[in-house]
Amino acid sequence: MDRRFLALWALFIVNLLYGINYVVAKGLMPVVIGPSGFILLRVAGANLLFWPVWLIKRERVAWSDAGRLVLCGISGVAINQLMFFHGLMRTSPVHASIIMVATPILVLVLSGVLIGERITPAKAMGVALGAVGALVLIFVGSGEGGGSSVLGDLFIFINASSYAIFLVLVKPLMSKYSAVTVMSWCFLVGSIIVVPFGLSEFLQVDWHGLTAPDAWSLAFVVVMVTFVAYLLNTWALRVVQPSVAGTFIYLQPVLALLAAYVLLPGDLGLGWAQASSAACIFTGVWLAGRKERKPVAH
């Protein structure tokens, strides 16, 4: 099977998991666990999952790549996750996913500047269509704006910017190392930064008093949204350019809306605005993700 096809499906699964995460994580904070404590749980769980897998192969990393790995750990794990969870606690799930539309635009620009990725008309059109679809959700079709705040929105925007930087920085590493190796070191670096912020909230959690749904929700975030999603995302970057991976983020508002509709029945309505925005977003993702045709020699 074509590796590019598999990479595109991997990116879809990643953003499906992220879309569900907006609703699941929102329901856990801050009643069950505080945002910083939640991040500490995520990075600790990710380390416990990534490092045993790395020990099987023991792939070494060159010292010349250490600085880039540290920057990836800071941008892709520490800042990214701390800002996301603190922002999500202060804003609505769908609103948070909509603000993430800044990420593909930033990725497109940074990819061209930092790693010389060619920005084709199809990619530019895909980014533009995705932005239009997301903006339709913002102004017409989100169906709920309660629970949002300027501070929460700012945190989500910082998260989006940090994630964009991570996607561009990690691409060169994926041409040299496995996804497990890259993510093992990224989460180790991220955990060192996160511990001082999250230890207090982590220790305050009543672990013995967790209900079964809360425990399953925490496990879903740690295993699926952290371990599986990061692994699939970084593996996909071995095959596609950062701008393609970034464009898939446009799916998150639609997927978050659908997740909220399924998991929180009665809270949201689906209508023409959501359908129109979804059509724009999926078309944009298709344009950005399709394989470029090589020019025919004459």
Nearest to 162 by CA among 259, 32, 74: 74
Question: What pLDDT, in 10s, does the model give residues 260-290?
Answer: 777 766 544 556 666 676 677 667 776 766 6
Is residue 146 over pLDDT 60?
A: no
Contact between 34 and 204 (Cβ < 8 Å): yes
Question: What pLDDT, in 10s, does the model give residues 5-25?
Answer: 999 999 999 999 988 888 888
Residue written as tokens 């996160």?
194
Q: What is the pLDDT of residue 298?
A: 43
Label residue 252 by pLDDT band (50, 70, 90). Answer: confident
Q: Share the mean pLDDT of the chain.
A: 83
CA geometry: angle at 126 spanning 72 and 244, to 5°? Answer: 30
Mean pLDDT of 88-104: 73
Say how many C-beta atoms besides its own lie within 10 A of residue 203's C-beta: 10
Alpha carbons 181 and 44: distance in angstroms, whole number: 16
Question: What pLDDT, in 10s, does the model give residues 44-81?
Answer: 999 999 999 999 989 999 999 999 999 999 999 999 99
Alpha carbons 179 and 183: distance in angstroms, whole number: 6
Could you tell me the pTM of the whole model? Answer: 0.79
